[in-house]
């Protein structure tokens, strides 16, 4: 468990850095943050009251020292106070995010797990059958690895929602008010989630396929795989032995990948008008809602750290070597 | 000294064992032998196409990307006058596509260079020094790796304001700040594994200074990894710049992300105006594909086992219709081993003031 403790410490440091960045970026970027914000506000009558509130928020023209502003900011964050969202009738940022968070957690979480499982399985298969027609998958995989998530979302909507009409083209459910948890509602929810989830899976599986294939090719040359095959074990079992070991770098590489996947998924949400954090991020950008942007950065970072911690637990479960020292 | 480093970087990339290069010219010739794999050739070809397209595109474009044509309420499909149709403002999509590559490539390569420089400095320093410096630098890299880039970039560009976000150099710099950590991590690991090899030890015993060991003994052997992390960062920057333009955070006039920004704003995907969003999206995707293919090529260069698939296919293609039984792989395996030695990373050992000499990895010879 020493590994988990070390990782936990690292995540706490990362969270502290994220909170500090959130505080420092408006103050460290050269120039006046309030002027920068005003430069983006076009078609809005800027009253002295607005300027004054922005001044207060970003510490412009205040007498308080940077340190006392900083401690004040920490105090707010620790009390769950991330400010108010000007684009949402000045509702608390935490509440605005709380309403959108379940959609993103459900969609991105599920899609990431599916993509990881499917991607590693396909990667193992491609490596095992090297030299067969499966190698022809790799150019296609390369393309999906390189294409922006949101472009794939455009294509998915155009083909599956508009031309074929199989799935709805956006939003998370038909009715805007929250009905009871009955089957009609759940199936409606799933129906709306299929296309965005599919987009995320197709876009992110490529990385897992390539990663797994590369490690699996190396693993297959190991002596224990040769012996397993020589003993006459069933082929599926030999693949299983090799894959079990080859999957470890993919799990430990999860931390590297999850940031990219989350970023891409948020953009996918925007194209699908899916009412999660990504759409909220776009809304914050177009409303110049800076406190919402900052709050979203914190919450998304915390969510990614939590996902990493889960991956660490899985790794400790999979690899006995990490448990030995305890 | 600077010239010497340059030639050594090339020589360290691709020398064959057993052949001692005569000097700088030999190193250069050998470096040119690298692009032989079909992946590297295809990637290079595609990348060259996009670079040329971005440079000459604005000059050969039939119209100005901002020019507004006949008044029509809806985008018009491709026609003889407008090869890729028009936008909802009746601007020529083809002209926008040709104008849209330049800024993006400029920003991406700039970000790639800056981030790679940063990752080499941090990664090699951390790997070579070890101890507390390593702990701190590794932690810094890991923090940047774990933190999701998109919301961070949104805040950065948000507070930068409109003028700052239109400054290409600044945009490249910011993207590089969020994109250097991956390379640093890989380079640190490789430096760490090199630090304790015999030839580094001997250099230390001879009394070479620390920066000299780093620049002439370690860095040349990191060339393939530096190249791979450079390509990776450029790919990251292409995606990030496109995403930022798609969100409207950097100037969308004109780049491919900006075209998608306008297309999304006009619901092009819901109304079937495919000629508006497919060309820019496809351009980004193919540019990215070229970078990924180049990276695959370099990966296979670093780890020859990955090349096995292609060799096996060729070997099996002669014999039978490749069903891929494990048994069928044995003959190819022998070949693979033989090939892999030819491409193994070779340390460059350089005697004081003399030409670099490449020595096979299996038999490090002290000068």
Q: How far apart are CA B34 and CA B15, in angstroms?
A: 10
Question: What are the phi and psi torsion angles at B88 (to 5°)?
Answer: -70, -20
Q: How far apart are CA A37 and CA B165, in angstroms?
A: 12
Residue B108 placed within a domain: yes
Contact B322 A131 (CB under 8 A): yes
Residue B357 placed within a domain: no
Residue B71 placed within a domain: yes
The answer, for B99 touching chain A at a CB cutoff of 8 Å, is no
Q: How many helices (H) and strands (E) does chain B have?
A: 17, 2
Contact B139 A10 (CB under 8 A): yes
Contact A217 B305 (CB under 8 A): yes
Question: What residue ranges in B297-351 does DSSP mark as E strands?
Answer: 348-349
Contact A40 B139 (CB under 8 A): no
| A62 band by pLDDT with thresholds 50, 70 and 90 | low
- How crowded is the C-beta side of A71, counted as CA atoms within 13 Å? 4
Quote the tokens at residue B217. 């003994």
- Nearest-Cα residue of chain A relative to residue B153: A297
The answer, for B334 touching chain A at a CB cutoff of 8 Å, is no
- Nearest-Cα residue of chain B relative to residue A229: B326
Residue B190 placed within a domain: yes
Contact A255 B329 (CB under 8 A): no
Residue B334 placed within a domain: no
* Distance between A180 CA and the closest CA of chain B, angstroms: 30
- Nearest-Cα residue of chain B relative to residue A288: B158
Q: What is the ipTM of this complex?
A: 0.86
Determine which helix (DSSP H) or strand (DSSP E) holds A92, and give its type and residue range. Answer: strand A91-92
Determine which helix (DSSP H) or strand (DSSP E) holds A91, and give its type and residue range. Answer: strand A91-92
Residue B271 placed within a domain: yes
Quote the tokens at residue B203. 């250099």
One pLDDT digit (tens) per residue for chain B, 367 residues: 233 322 223 333 333 333 333 334 444 444 445 556 777 888 889 999 999 988 888 888 888 887 777 777 778 788 877 778 888 777 888 888 888 888 899 999 999 999 999 999 999 989 888 888 888 998 999 899 888 889 999 888 888 877 777 888 989 999 999 989 988 988 998 888 888 888 888 888 998 888 888 888 888 888 888 988 899 899 999 999 999 999 888 888 888 988 889 888 888 778 888 888 889 999 999 999 999 888 888 877 777 767 654 444 444 444 444 344 444 344 444 334 333 333 334 444 443 433 333 333 333 333 3
Q: Which residues of A touch B326 (CB under 8 A)?
A: 220, 229, 235, 238
- Give yes or no for a contact between B179 and B240, defined as CB atoms under 8 angstroms apart: yes
DSSP-derived 3-state class of residue B144: helix
Contact B148 A305 (CB under 8 A): no
Question: What are the phi and psi torsion angles at B274 (to 5°)?
Answer: -60, -35
DSSP B306: G
Domain around B138: 40-304
Q: Which residues of A touch B296 (CB under 8 A)?
A: 142
Provide the mean pLDDT of chain A: 84
* pLDDT at residue A93, as a whole number: 87
Residue B344 placed within a domain: no
Contact B147 A18 (CB under 8 A): yes
Q: Which residues of B touch A229 (CB under 8 A)?
A: 326
Contact A145 B288 (CB under 8 A): yes
* Distance between A114 CA and the closest CA of chain B, angstroms: 20
Query: In CATH, what number is assigned to the domain containing residue B294?
Result: 1.10.3720.10
Contact B260 A297 (CB under 8 A): no
- Cβ–Cβ pairs < 8 A, chains A and B: 218
- Give yes or no for a contact between A209 and A140, defined as CB atoms under 8 angstroms apart: no
Interface of B with A in 240-259 (CB under 8 A): 242-243, 246-249
Total domains, chain B: 1
Alpha-helical regions (H) of A129-253: 137-146, 149-156, 183-219, 223-230, 235-252
* Distance between A107 CA and the closest CA of chain B, angstroms: 17
Residue B6 placed within a domain: no
Contact B246 A267 (CB under 8 A): yes
């Amino acid at each position: 468990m020493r590994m988990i403790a070390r990782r936990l410490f690292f995540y706490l440091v990362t969270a502290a850095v994220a909170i500090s960045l959130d505080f420092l970026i408006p103050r460290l970027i050269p120039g006046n943050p309030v002027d920068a914000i005003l430069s983006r506000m076009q078609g809005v009558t800027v009253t002295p009251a607005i300027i004054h509130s922005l001044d207060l928020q970003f510490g412009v023209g205040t007498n308080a020292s940077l340190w006392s502003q900083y401690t004040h900011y920490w105090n707010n964050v620790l009390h769950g106070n991330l400010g108010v969202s000007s684009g949402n009738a000045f509702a608390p940022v935490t509440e605005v995010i709380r309403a959108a968070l379940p959609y993103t957690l459900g969609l991105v979480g599920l899609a990431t797990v599916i993509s990881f499982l499917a991607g590693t399985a396909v990667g193992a298969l491609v490596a095992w059958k090297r030299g067969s027609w499966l190698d022809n998958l790799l150019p296609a995989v390369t393309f999906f690895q390189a294409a922006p998530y949101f472009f794939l979302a455009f294509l998915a909507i155009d083909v599956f929602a508009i031309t074929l009409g199989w799935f709805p083209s956006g939003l998370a459910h038909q009715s805007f008010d929250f009905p009871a948890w009955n089957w009609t509602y759940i199936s409606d929810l799933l129906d709306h989630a299929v296309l965005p989830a599919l987009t995320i899976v197709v876009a992110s599986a490529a990385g897992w396929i390539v990663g797994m294939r590369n490690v699996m090719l190396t693993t297959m040359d190991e002596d224990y795989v040769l012996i397993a095959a020589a003993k006459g074990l069933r082929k599926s079992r030999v693949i299983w032995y090799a894959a079990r070991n080859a999957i470890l770098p993919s799990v430990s590489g999860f931390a590297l990948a999850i940031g990219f996947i989350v970023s891409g998924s948020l953009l996918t949400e925007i194209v699908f008008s899916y009412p999660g954090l990504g759409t909220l991020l776009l809304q914050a950008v177009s409303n110049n809602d800076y406190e919402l942007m900052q709050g979203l950065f914190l919450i998304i970072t915390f969510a990614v750290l939590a996902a990493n911690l889960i991956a660490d637990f899985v790794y400790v479960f999979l690899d006995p070597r990490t448990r030995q020292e305890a | 000294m600077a010239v010497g480093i340059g030639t050594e970087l090339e020589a360290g990339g691709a020398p064959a064992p057993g052949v001692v290069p005569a000097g700088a010219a030999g190193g250069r010739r050998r470096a040119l032998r690298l692009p032989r794999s079909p992946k590297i050739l295809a990637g290079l070809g595609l990348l060259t196409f996009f670079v040329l397209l971005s440079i000459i595109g604005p000059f050969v474009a039939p119209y100005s990307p901002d020019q507004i044509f006949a008044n029509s309420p809806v985008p018009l499909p491709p026609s003889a006058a407008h090869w890729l149709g028009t936008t909802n403002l009746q601007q020529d999509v083809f002209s926008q596509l040709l104008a849209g590559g330049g800024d993006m490539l400029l920003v991406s390569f700039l970000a790639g260079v800056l981030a790679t420089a940063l990752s080499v400095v941090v990664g090699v320093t951390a790997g070579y020094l070890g101890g507390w410096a390593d702990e701190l630098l590794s932690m810094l890299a890991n923090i940047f790796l774990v933190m999701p880039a998109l919301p961070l970039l949104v805040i950065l560009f948000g507070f930068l304001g409109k003028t700052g976000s239109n400054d290409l150099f600044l945009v490249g710099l910011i993207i590089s700040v969020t994109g250097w950590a991956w390379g640093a991590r890989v380079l640190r690991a490789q430096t760490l594994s090199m630090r304790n090899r015999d030839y580094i030890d001997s250099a230390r015993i001879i009394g070479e200074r620390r920066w000299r060991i780093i620049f002439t003994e370690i860095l040349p052997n990191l060339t393939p990894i530096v190249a791979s992390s450079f390509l990776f960062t450029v790919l990251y920057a292409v995606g990030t710049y496109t995403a930022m333009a798609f969100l409207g955070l950097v100037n969308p006039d004109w780049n491919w992300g900006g075209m998608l920004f306008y297309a999304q704003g006009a619901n092009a995907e819901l109304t079937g105006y495919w000629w508006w969003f497919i060309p820019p999206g496809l351009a980004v995707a193919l540019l990215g594909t070229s970078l990924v293919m180049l990276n695959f090529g370099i990966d296979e260069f670093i780890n020859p086992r990955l090349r096995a698939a292609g060799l096996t296919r060729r070997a099996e293609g002669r014999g039978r219709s490749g069903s891929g039984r494990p048994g069928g792989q044995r003959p190819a395996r022998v070949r693979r081993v033989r090939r892999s030695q030819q491409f193994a990373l070779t340390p460059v050992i350089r005697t004081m003031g003399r030409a670099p000499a490449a020595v096979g990895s299996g038999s490090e010879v002290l000068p």
